[in-house]
Each structure stands twice: as structure tokens, then as C-alpha cells.
Chain A
Amino acid sequence: MRRALIFAALAAAVAAPALAAQDVRTEVQSLRYPALRFNPPTPKRLTLSNGVPVYLLEDHALPTLAVQIVSRRGVANVPDSLWGVAWQADGMLRTGGTTRLTPDSVDKLLEFYAINLFISTDHEQSTASVSGLARYRDQMLDLAFEVLRTPRNDTSRIRVTVGQQQESWRRRNDQPGPVLGRAWSQVVLGDHPLGRSLVTPDELAGFTPERFRWVQERLFCPQNLLIGVSGDFEERDLVRKLEALFRGWPVCKPGLRELPPVRYATGPRIVLVEKDVNQTNIRMGHPVPVRIADSPEYFASQVADFLLGGSGFTSRMLQRVRSDSGFAYSAFSSWGAEVDRDAVFFAGAQIRAEKTVAGLTLMRDVIRSMRTDPPTARDVQLARDNEVNSFVFRFESASQIVGQQLAYAVDGLPADWFDVYLRGIQAVTPEAVRQASERHLKPDELVMVIVGKPAAFDRPLAELGTVTMLPVDSIKR
């Protein structure tokens, strides 16, 4: 297999003669590793009679079973007027009972059989995962499908959710990290649904069983779904069970929309949210156009991010901000990428208040350094070696392997995307990383959002540019 071959080649390359009296660094360099021969199991893909794709991977090591039901539709596909309902539709599916069972009965059955049922309606997809002991396969599948197909949305549980969400809104400014997250989203994404993560009190007034039902039956319906099953099961038996569970589930109803076009804010821009804390929460970034694709530029951007701030202590950001300067415990970058639209690059840190402006300047300089002092061949080799040597960790468990296939399918990536990715990373050159950084990292056009106490800063923030104040209470969502 392709992967096994890559490894044999690499093992040969690292072999070096051992020295007699060697120090530990020499010893590390002279270690000879046997080739790692590993062909990860591939899930079997088949299609149910209603067209739903199913990925199956049997693993009988333990008597457990995990089933993932993924919908290609998420909260951002729901009209804005129902955003809050859709954001909480997952909790109501889990806790609101079914037309046959009261909410208490569902809870009791799940907890009695020690079944884990986790439902999530996220921005661009929705998921129901159910797992437990394989001997309760029928209980777990029957309940999961019953909950998804015939939710009750009991009014008593809607009241519980409303109370909890009101309290989340009331507590929204209690911790600096979430304040930064909401401020950043508002500045960068404006009113776009992808920028939202909190239900507002106005929206809670519209929580009714009918509205929940409207959203739930559009997010979870056969044409949107993919299924992944891993663990202790027998294929024919399980497929028969799935066919039975889907029988009579009507086709998806109309009413959802495509993702509204995303327009990101551009910089330079500095936004300050005042909060009385002795540590400043910082995020800085800008839109980037590189998309997930089998293209040299995408792979180069991933390596650039690894070296800039994506790989912890081996990245420049944590090295400079933490190890060299002692300004922060955490500092990182994230060069986002999507299949079908632009995304956002950003760097973040929590910096000692008295080093805020020094820290902001340093972080901007570290981003700039990717252009002015591009990564060396050795740096790029580090990123490539890390990817190839760590590949086994992407295939550690059957549920992880199945989950990966589901994710590729939802994103429209080929089933062998990981092979493509690994090959792409291996082909990245230092020059390609430099070019990607040069073209796409814009240290002079950063949007900076800062949550902190300006009276404690080392220097006036205005030294970095015009500062816009964003009072914490005017973060709308």
C-alpha cells in the first residue's frame, strides 16, 4: 500500500551510523526504527434503499457499538427568524421526549441502559451520536431514531431550556474568553449566522413545540443524512435494522436555504472591549482565500500555519510570545480553510495586561516574519515529518476512521482525501511556504480585537492605530 511504502522509505532515510561515545542528541539521530507497516482498515460503504449512504467498520475487540448520524444541514441553513430555535433544537431533541414517550421516560431508558445519546445542531451540519454496550444495540438505535423522527418538544422542557438560555445570556460577560469570541464574531462576521453562538432573550419568546418541530424535521430527514457505524456488530443484521428504522420516514420538506454569502471585515482595524481583568485577551486576523483542495498552495498554507502558530512549542508564535518573552501561557495561530468559500486566518493569545501593546506588536511581527524571514528547509522538513510520522494516530479507533469518512463525504472530499493530503504535504517546499505567506498573510491589514483593561496596559493602544471602542453591552449577540 501507498502508506506502508512511504514509511519504508523514511525509515531508511533516518538510519545513520552509531557513534561509540555518543551524547544523547547523537543517539537520537542514530536511532534506527523498523519500518512501520500498517494498512488502516477501510470502512465499507453501502447505500440503503432510500439512498442514505452508510459507512460500516466492524471491530469486535470490545462489546461496544457507536453510531453516528450526520446531516449535511445546519443552523445556518435555517431562516434567520428561527436561528435561536435551531441553535437549541439539539437540546430539545435530546430532552423533549417523543410523541410516544415522555421526556422522563426517554431519560430513564437512556440512563438505565447506559446509552450515550449526543445531539448537536451546529452551524453547517447536525449530528446525532449514540453509543453503548453492543448488547443494547436495538434499544440504542430504536431510541435514537424515535427521538429524531417523532420529537415531542414537551412544553415543560422548553421552559427548562428557556430558563437556562436566559441565564447564559445573563452570564455572557462573566469570563473574558467568551466575550472575546463574541466580539470577534461581531466585528468580523457582522450579522451573518456563522458569527452567532448565543440565543438572545427576544428569540426565547419564540420557542414553541411547532417551531422546534419545523426545524428538526428539516435538519434530520433522510435525504440529508449519512450514517456511520463502528464496533461490535454484524453487517447484514445491522443493515436490515437500519432499513427498518428508516421505513416510512418521509422525504425532506422544503424551507431551508443555502448558506448566505459570507463577507468578512477587513483591516487594519483595532477594536477594544473594556473589561477589568489583569490579563488581556487578544485575537488578530484577516480573511484568506485559500480553499481546501488538492492544490500546492493549500498544502503550503497548512505548513505555514503549522510553523507560524499551529504546532505549539515548535511554532514561532508560542516560541516568541511564551518561551522567549514570558508574556503568555497560550499563543497560537489558525489559518482556516473551507472547501467552497474564503475563510479567516487569525492569531490569539492571553497576555499579561502590563505587556499588552508589546505583546500585540510582537504577535504582529511574528506574523510578518513569515514573509521577511521565511521558514528554512529544516523547518519545512519538520512539518512534513510530523505529518507522515503521526499518520497512525488518525486511524487509532474504528469510530475515528468512520468519523473521518463521514466528514470527507459531508465536505465533498474524496474518500482517499487523507492520502491526497499526505502526498500534498510531502511535496511542500520552503519556497512554496514563503510564497503562500507572502501572498496571503497581511500583517498590515489585521483586524485586532482586544478585551482588557486599558489603564493597566504598558502603552496607549492608539500607538498601533485608530482604536474603536466596543462597549461590552453593545456586543449584540
Chain B
Amino acid sequence: MKRLCLLAALAAGVAPAAAQESPGERLPVVRHVLPNGMTFLLLRRAGAPTASFVTHYRAGAVDEWTGISGTAHLFEHMLFKGSTVIGTNDLAAEQGLFPAIDAAADSFTAEFRRGAQADSATLQRLRDRLKQLEDSARAFAVSNELDRILTENGAQGLNASTSHDVTNYYFSLPANRAQLWFVLESDRLRHPVLREFYSEREVVMEERRLRTETQPFGMLYEEFLQAAFRAHPYGRPVVGLASEIQAVSRRSALEYFRRFYGPNNAVVAIVGDIDVEQMKQWATRYFGDLPAGEPHRPVVTQEPPQRGERRILVEFDANPLVMIGYHIPNVRHPDTPALSVLSQLLTGGRTSRLFQRLVVRDRVAAQISSFQAPGGLYPRLFAFQGVPIAPRTTADIETAVYEELERIQREPPTAEELQRVRNQIDASGIQRLQSSFGLAFQLSSSEALWGDWRQTFRDQAALAAVTAQDVQRVARTYFTATNRTVATLVRPAAAAPAPTEGGTR
């Protein structure tokens, strides 16, 4: 009785959020495009005297060609190694050693390519020689000088990340030091030197082991994408396949850079206590003379329609997990808002349908979540991830997910469910304006992916216009058994051999 009254009050107390402009779209962002195509999004806002800088390049793991997986990400690491000035105390001496180092790397790669026939003693000898040569070049390097300069100037959050679609670089500075970003960023973009390349390749292998090979979720996700995408590069891991990381050459990384890092592929957002006119002047002064590069060309490969359910097992010494994925269109498709609302209805919060059923009512799962991945530019997956509570199994989770999908295909979501989602959209539309860094990241990403910084705000606002019928329609369109990929993590049988060493020999 008490409960009914409450809910009635809820429905009456809150005005429905009509499809409207998101508050973000009204931000006074200044879009400044240099003649070479480099785009700057400048936003002055009140608050502490800080400035956040986020650059997105239209260059991701999908743009790699066969045999070099992981290069987009490895190059991202290399852009922190400096330039012809920053990072070295004798460029000529240092670069004079590069041909010998690259030759040693090629010899190693030639032996490595023999796979199972490779001679481990030879491999070790060649690896040692490579290390020795690179150490001799290190004598002329000023390792991590870029970090050092930024650290002494109080930079915060210096980092970068690579995804299937794009690569981004970012940090924040005290606002009075904004010019330092222009000096250093233009320098590393103009004259990058890929020093310490082969030891960084080893670092990336350790990153792969840290995030994928020693982690049940990481391993399952990699295999899940590989099963779902057989043609499109969304199936390749961003960090790279172990065998390819160990064979990437400095030449390939540089070639990747030349193809995709033209200023016309870069979008910079600067948000904080900034002088917008001054930023424009510096943009021209520091980046204006960079020659435009090749325009970014979308991947031509399309994933063919799936011709039947795909199920894989991933053996790993851990308790079971399951991922269930359905192919859906890219983000610009008109069905995207309804799919996002569906995701909220099913797994967004404790009152969502699958959480209520699997976690609260039946105690089948410790966790259930859904997400859309691995990118947004190309057709992708609507995926569920579940953690069963023994003795319940991943099959029990599958059953519940399929039943709830069928239920939503039959019965539309209630008005109250939709209102909850709309209210959450409303709140997050305001909350996402809170941090300068968060705003810079969103503006830069939206412009790089969709050619318009407002697009992400609009997409968010479009969710409010989704109707119960829209949700039902997309549930019927995409959630079929034929369109499904299921990956399950299972323990290897007791007699099975230990897991392999992930490609190293």
C-alpha cells in the first residue's frame, strides 16, 4: 500500500522530459579550423585556472594493415619518446645507430617468423644483441624528457589511449602555462623520433600480459570479439596479437604515423580558464605550417551477415564467465538511441529487468551488465556480460537473458521504466558538464568521430524521444539466435596441459 502511493507520487511529481536540446549544445565552443584542416575546439569556462588539452586522431587499430596489429597502440607509446630535440643530447650519434638496431631487429624477426621451427638459442642471442645495440643508442638519449618537462610544470593526467576507432592524447596544465602545450605538442607531431622502440615493444607485450593473458575477463573479451568479427578489424585486439607485437618494426610504426597523423586528422579541444583569441594565434603559429596529410578513409571491409549462432569456449584457470553479443549497426544508425535505452532498461541500475531477476530475485548471477562495443564508427555488438553464482551456471544466465529479450519483444516497457531512463539522461546531461577534462574529451571525441562537437550531446538528448514501440522494434530486429555470439570461460580439464605462453617461444 505504502509502495503504491509512493510510485503514484513519483509519476506525478516529475514532468516528463520531452525531446529537447541538451544543455551541452548551448556551450559557447569556438571551432577554429586551420587551413591544413587541423581543428581546434576552444571553450573558456569559469573556475580554477586550469586548462585541459585533449587531442583525438582519426587513427585507430582498425586502420592497421595485415600483420601489424598493435602498431596504432605501440605508436601511441612512441609519441612520448620525444622528438629530434626533446629526448636526445646528440641526435646524429643516436640516429646513426638506428640502422644497425633495425637490422638486428629484422634478424630477430626473421628467426621469430619460423614459428615452431625457430631456434630458441638463436632467438635469445638475437634478442640480446638487439638489446645491446639499443642500449648503446640510449647513451645519447634523454629518456622521458617530455614527461620531465611537463611534470616540473605541474601537468596532470598525462596519458593517452588507443581504441579501435581513434587514438587520443591528453593532459592538463595550470592555465598560465598553456603555451607549453603548443610548443611540445607541435614538436612531437612535427619531428617524432621513435627511440627506445624495441624495448618499448617488450613493454607492450607486458601490457598485453597484464590486461589480457593473465586476466579471465581480458582473455574472454579478446576471444569473444575474434569470434564475432571474422572479416572486420573490430575482431583484432587493439593491443595486438602476441606474435605481431613481437615483430612490429620501427618502419611500420613510422609508416602508420605518416599515413594517419596528418593535422587534418587531428581534433584538439582546449577547455578551461583560457584566452580563446590567444589560443587561436598559437594554433596558427605552432601548427599552421604542418602540411595536410591523406584524408582518413573509412575501412572498406564489412562484416558479412552472420549465418548462424556462434559459440566458443575459452579455457582459462578461473571460474566461469559468459559474454553474449548481437551484431548491431554503427552509432549513426537511427536505431542507436532505442538500443541505448534498451540497455538501460535491461541492466542500468538495481531496478533494471535483468539485474532484478538474475541478481536480486533468483540469485543466479553476482553481476550482469550490458555494453555496446568495441567501437562506434562501424557496425558493432550489443553485448551482455555475466558472472554466475555457483552452482548456477552460465547457461542459467543465458536462459534468463534470452527470456527477458523475448519478454521485451512481446511486452513494451512501462511508462515508469521509460521515465526513469529519461530522468537519468536528464541528470547525466548536466553532470557531464562538471569537469573541464571530461568536457574537452567529449568535444574532441565527438568532432573526430562525427565531424561535429555537438553530436554527442544531440545523441544523448535523442534518447529522451525514444518510445516504448521503438524499444520493442529494435529488440525484435537484432536479438535473434542467428545473430548471436556466445563466449564462455571454462576451466581446462584437469588433464589438459598448462596454458601456452601466449605466443612467445
Q: Give chain A's interface residues, CB within 8 Å of chain B.
A: 11, 23-25, 27-28, 31, 33-38, 40, 61-64, 95, 100-102, 104-105, 107-109, 111-114, 132-133, 156-157, 159-160, 163-164, 166-168, 170-171, 174-176, 276-279, 311-314, 319, 322-330, 350-352, 381-382, 385-386, 388-393, 395-397, 456
Contacts and interface: CB of A to CB of B under 8 A. Distances in A.
A273 B53 CA distance: 43
B498 to A, nearest CB: 5
Contacts of B204: 329
Nearest to B88: A25
A326 B203 contact: yes
A325 B199 contact: yes
A170 B390 contact: yes
B423 interface: yes
B183 A28 contact: yes
A95 B216 CA distance: 28
A312 B147 CA distance: 9
A477 to B, nearest CB: 19
B196 interface: yes
Number of chain B interface residues as a range: 35 or more
A314 B151 CA distance: 8
Contacts of B366: 163-164, 167-168
A175 B47 contact: no
Nearest to A159: B363
B286 to A, nearest CB: 10
A114 B10 CA distance: 12
Contacts of A326: 131, 198-203, 206
Contacts of B7: 108
A25 B85 contact: yes
Nearest to B146: A313
A102 B3 contact: yes
A388 B154 contact: yes
B184 A28 contact: yes
20 contacts: A31-B180, A34-B176, A38-B48, A111-B424, A133-B427, A156-B360, A160-B360, A160-B363, A167-B389, A174-B216, A325-B199, A326-B202, A326-B206, A329-B210, A350-B210, A389-B152, A392-B175, A393-B48, A396-B47, A397-B47
B199 A382 contact: no
A133 B144 contact: no
Contacts of B175: 36, 392
Contact of B48 (A40, A107, A111, A325): A40
Contacts of A38: 48-49
Interface stretch (B55-63, B334-342, B430-438): B430-438
Given A170-B390, A171-B319, A390-B156, A323 B48 contact: no
A330 B211 CA distance: 11
A311 B151 CA distance: 9
B502 A163 contact: no
A314 B147 contact: yes
B430 A62 contact: yes
B355 to A, nearest CB: 9
Contacts of B144: 313-314, 319, 323
A163 B433 contact: no
Smallest CB-CB A-B distances: 3 pairs = A389-B154, A326-B202, A114-B427
Nearest to B205: A352
A49 B371 CA distance: 48
Contacts of A24: 83, 85-86, 183-184, 187
Contacts of B203: 322-323, 326, 328-329
Interface of B: 2-3, 6-7, 10, 14, 46-50, 80, 83, 85-86, 131, 135, 138, 143-144, 147-149, 151-156, 158, 172, 174-177, 179-180, 183-184, 187, 196, 198-207, 209-210, 213-216, 317-319, 349-351, 359-360, 363, 366, 387-390, 416, 419-420, 423-424, 426-428, 430-431, 433-436, 498-499, 501-502, 504
Given A31-B179, A105-B6, A386-B152, 18 more contacts: A23-B85, A25-B86, A36-B49, A64-B434, A100-B2, A108-B10, A114-B428, A163-B366, A170-B390, A277-B209, A279-B206, A352-B206, A389-B174, A389-B177, A392-B154, A393-B48, A393-B156, A397-B47
A352 B205 CA distance: 9
Nearest to A381: B152
Nearest to B175: A36
B390 A113 contact: no
A158 to B, nearest CB: 11
A392 B148 contact: no
Nearest to A33: B176
Contact of A313 (B147, B428, B501): B147
A396 B50 contact: yes
B318 A105 contact: no
Query: Which of B176, B210, B216, B318 has its CB near the most chain A CB atoms (within 10 A)?
Result: B176
Contacts of B187: 24
B207 A167 contact: no
B209 A279 contact: yes
A309 to B, nearest CB: 14
Nearest to A134: B430
A64 B430 contact: yes
Contacts of A168: 366
Contacts of A385: 152-154
A392 B48 contact: yes
A179 to B, nearest CB: 11
Contacts of B433: 62
Contacts of A95: 350
Nearest to B211: A329
B353 to A, nearest CB: 13
A330 to B, nearest CB: 7
Contacts of B143: 319, 323-324
Nearest to B489: A174
Nearest to B10: A112
Contacts of B80: 313
A242 to B, nearest CB: 23
Contact of B210 (A27, A330, A393): A330
Contacts of B430: 62-64, 133
Contacts of B416: 112
Nearest to B124: A354
A175 B212 CA distance: 11
A113 B416 CA distance: 12
A314 B153 CA distance: 13
B419 A352 contact: no
A175 B209 contact: no
A27 B387 CA distance: 54
A27 B201 CA distance: 31
Nearest to A61: B46
A62 B10 contact: no
Nearest to B416: A112
Given A62-B433, A114-B428, A278-B502, A167 B48 contact: no
Contacts of A112: 10, 14, 416, 419-420, 423
Contacts of B427: 114, 132-133
Nearest to B499: A276
A456 B80 CA distance: 32
B165 to A, nearest CB: 23
